[in-house]
Amino acid sequence: MLPKYDWCYIAWAAIVSTLISASQVYSQEEKQSNYSPGIIHFYQEYISPIDGDRCPMHPSCSTYLKNCVKKHGSLKGWIIGLDRLVRCGRDEVENSPSVWINGKKHIYDPVKNNDFWWSEK
C-alpha cells in the first residue's frame, strides 16, 4: 500500500499529463473551428453579463484570450492571454491607440499588436 503523499503525487501527475495531452488535441481543433474554450465561454456567458462591461481594452481580455487560443493554440494562447491580464488598462493606455465603442473609449490592443514580432500569421 502506497503512503498518502504518494497517492497525491500520482493523482497530480495524472491530471497534469491529461491536461497537457488534451491541450495538444484541443489546440489542433481550436485552429480549425470557431468553438471557444469552455472556461472562457463560461465566463462570457454567465459571469460577464453580471459583472458588466468593465474591461478598458478592445477586444476585451476574455475575447483576447479566446483569439489567442484560436490563433496560437492552447499553450501559447494561454501565456499570451495571461500577459494581457497583467497589462490590462495600465501602461498600455499610453502606448496603444484608442477607439470608441458604444460611446466608451477603449484601448485598442488586438492579438496582432502583441505577436507581430514573431508570428507571420
Partner 1 sequence: MKKIFPAIFFWVFLFFHVNGSCEEIVIVNAQKQYQLAQTLFEEKEFSAAAHEYIRFFHLFPNHEKVARAKYKTGLSFFYAGRLEDAGRHLEKIAADFSDSGFASDAMFKLSELYIATNAPGKATSVLRDLITLTNMPQVHDRACFMIGWLLLDKADILKSQSDYKVYPVREAEKYFSMISFKGKKKYRIEDSITSLKKISHLKKKTPALAGVLSIIPGGGFLYCGRYRDALVSFLLNSSLILAAHQSFENDNVFLGGVISLVEAGFYAGNIYGSVSSAHKYNIKKQKEFIDKLKQEYLVNQDKISFQSGFIKNGVALMFKYNF
Q: How far is the CB of 29 from partner 1 (least distance, A)?
A: 20
* Edge-to-edge strand ranges of the sheet holding 98-101: 57-58, 104-108, 98-101
In this complex, which beta carbon is closest to partner 1, that of residue 49 or of residue 65?
65
In this complex, which beta carbon is closest to partner 1, that of residue 97 or of residue 103?
97
Which spans of this chain sit near partner 1 (rule: CB under 8 A)? 5, 8-9, 11-12, 15-16, 19, 78-87, 90-92, 95, 97, 99, 108, 110, 112-117, 120
In this complex, which beta carbon is closest to partner 1, that of residue 4 or of residue 49?
4
Q: What b/e sequence results for 26-55 when a residue is b if at least 16 CB atoms lie within 10 Å of its CB, and e otherwise?
A: bbeebeeeeebbeebeebeeeebeeeeeeb
Q: How far is the CB of 42 from partner 1 (least distance, A)?
A: 16
Q: How far is the CB of 96 from partner 1 (least distance, A)?
A: 8
Please, how many CA atoms are within 13 Å of residue 37, restricted to the half-sphere of its CB? 26
